[in-house]
Every structure is written in structure tokens, then in C-alpha cells.
Amino acid sequence: MHPPPAPAAPPARGPDLAALARRIRELAHQAGFQRVGISGVELGEDEAHLRDWLAQGLYGTMDWMARHGDLRSRPAELVPGTVRVLSVGLDYGQDEEQAWRTLSAGERAYVARYALGRDYHKLMRNRLQRLAERLQAEVGPFGHRVFVDSAPVLERALARNAGLGWIGKNTCLIDKDGGSWFFLGEIYLDLPLPVDPPASAHCGSCNRCIPACPTGAITAPHRLDARRCISYLTIEHAGAIPEELRPAMGNRIFGCDDCQLVCPWNKFARRTDEPDFRARNNLDQATLTELFAWEEDEFLRRTEGSAIRRSGHERWLRNIAVALGNAPTTPAVVAALESRRQHPSPLVREHVAWALERHRGH
């Protein structure tokens, strides 16, 4: 007689993925992220939207937007093995009343609220990396890669699919429980975690952001012409700012927040007291003439660790010259512009000459 066959070994049990997803959220909240969600990697509709936007040339001179082809909308091709994306949001909410006061004070400089303090990229990347390392210490090694605006990632679409908010008509991600004043970051994962339901849209019939754009850059719901956007013009664009757009820029010297300031959902935004995001160099109070006086060495010193460093000193002076051209005519404003009339940069000289012409006859 043959001995009876040995009973089959029970199938090997993998990790409890639902419990793992809960633990990831717990660790992410402990790391200081107010919003956390998990999505899959399918972005077909968003890929079509991106292709159409690129085909129309609405990205201006941001060639890197087109350079990566479809990698931006295909996480598994950017990082092979990726099956899930952990999206996180970090609040940077500021005092909106103060923002409006600055915008209405023509002699003061308006800097986008996200750029008042330290650059968020390093802070978020470090937190996400520590989060991934802590998780590995608990569950063992897994494939992952951290991103904070550092690679071709369709971050708003991924965050929407992870339930963090919907993409508003102003193209910002909006959370009905907290508005749009938050940064996004991601960890691409090779763990088949359960995904969160995507966020539903709640703009409804509201169109406030569209007429609020000073330069008419929001040409239709969910359609932004970067070539007219003040954030693009003051930060990404290297050449002369189109003359017809300069008057509408007002005193905005680095970025623009108007489409967020008018969004009704931002009444639910939480003010943050993250020390890194507190205003530096008095940027929430500074006058245009003060900032125009910074020579390059002072600009580099004061903008160390700041997103403003990205513009460089030449664009900084170009932007402030436009704002001074829009400022009330005073001896201090005219004297500041005169001080840069012979600047070595043709770009700066051209914008200074335009601004001085605006004040002649006042």
C-alpha cells in the first residue's frame, strides 16, 4: 500500500494589503501631511487632455512639458513596476485678507503665497522619503520612488483619483473640506494596495475664477493658456513680457493667486503655521522699491532656500520694473526706475524704459 498523499501546503499568505494601506495613511498623517490617498495608474482621459493642450501650444516656452511625451500620464513607464501611487497634500494656507490688501496697495509687491517662505520641494521630498523608509522598516523592501514636482508626473490627476480633490475650472486641485492652498507630492509604489474612490467635482455653475484672472489666461473651464498666465510670465518665461499683458499684471512680481483667492471653497482652507512656510525677508509687507534695490549678491543671499531663486536676478528686476510701471507715480518709484535705466541687461533696460514711459506726464 502506498502511504496517503501528504496534505497540500496552505497557500503562502501575502501581506494584508488593506491593513498596510491603513498603516501608510497613519504614517503619512504622522509625517505632517493633511491629505493622503491611493490611486491606480490609469490616466487615459487625462492623457488625451494633455495631448490636446500640448498640440495647441498652450505651454509657451515650457518645452519640458512636451519633451517627455506620454511618460507624464503613464506612471508604469516612468517607473517600471509601478501599480499604485500614494498622493499626499501639505497645507500652506495664508491670510487671504492680507493677500487682498497687498494686491490693492500699488506700491507694495505681491508674491504668490506659496513662495513667501522656504521652498516646499525639499521639505516635502524629505518627509516622503522618511515615510517610505519607515514603511520599509516595518514591512520589508518594496519598489518605490518619491516625487515632488521633480519629474513628468500628472500630479493633479493622480491626486484627484486618490480622492484628495477635484481639478477645478482654474486647473487647481480643490478639496471641498480645505480649498486649494496645498502642495502635492507622490510615492510611486509596486504594492497592489486597495485604491481610494476618486474625488467628485463640486464647481457646479461657479465660474468666478475665469473673469478673475487678470490677464485672461483661463480661456475656458479647465483650459489655461500658460502664455498669458502671470505665474508663467514671471517665473518660467525668460524673455520680454508681452507689452499688452503688462498693465494687467499690477504689482504681482512672482506668481499669482487671484483664481484661488476668489474660489468660494477656499473659505474652508486651513491656515497653516508650518515654520518653513512663514514669510521670509518681509515679503508679505515689502515695497516694490525695496525689492528693486537688491543687487544680485543680495538677491542670491536672501532667496537661498526659496522658490524665488528660480526666477534669477534678471527676471526679478524685469518683473519688478513692470510692477513699478503700474504703481502710483511718486518720486520714490520714478527714482527707483531711473536707478536701473543703464542696467547691463537689455531685458531689464527695456522693461524699465516701458515703466518710465508710463509715468511721464503724470
Asked if 132 and 290 count as a contact pair (C-beta separation under 8 A), the reply is no
Is 270 a residue whose pLDDT tops 90?
no
- Res 139: pLDDT: 86
- Res 108: pLDDT: 98
Identity at 14, one-letter amino acid code:
G
182-189/173-174 β-pairing? unpaired
User: Is 257 in the active site?
Assistant: no
Asked if 140 and 33 count as a contact pair (C-beta separation under 8 A), the reply is no
Reported confidence tier of residue 114, pLDDT bands at 50, 70, 90? very high
CA distance 111 to 102: 9
CA distance 128 to 150: 13
- Res 6: pLDDT: 47
CA distance 187 to 86: 5
- Res 12: pLDDT: 37
CB atoms within 10 A of CB 257: 25
Total-model pTM: 0.92
- Listed range (45-54, 139-148, 193-202, 263-272) with the worst mean pLDDT: 263-272
Secondary structure (DSSP) of 73-125:
G-HHHHSTT--EEEEEEEE-B--HHHHHHHHH-TTBPEE-GGGSSS-HHHHHH
The residue from 149, 175, 258, 273 that is catalytic is 149
- Listed range (17-26, 80-89, 244-253, 263-272) with the worst mean pLDDT: 263-272
Is 268 a residue whose pLDDT tops 90?
no
Is 153 a residue whose pLDDT tops 80?
yes
Is 34 a residue whose pLDDT tops 90?
yes
pLDDT tens for each residue of 71-95: 999 999 999 999 999 999 999 988 8
Average confidence (pLDDT) over 278-305: 96
pLDDT tens for each residue of 194-242: 999 999 999 999 999 999 999 999 999 999 999 999 999 999 999 999 9
Inter-CA distances, 51 with 46, 48, 88, Å: 9, 5, 26
- Res 9: pLDDT: 41
Is 115 a residue whose pLDDT tops 80?
yes
Secondary structure (DSSP) of 212-239:
H-TT--EEETTEE-GGG-HHIIIII--S
Residues sharing a CB contact under 8 Å with residue 114, sequence separation 6 or more, in sequence order: 92, 120, 183, 255, 307
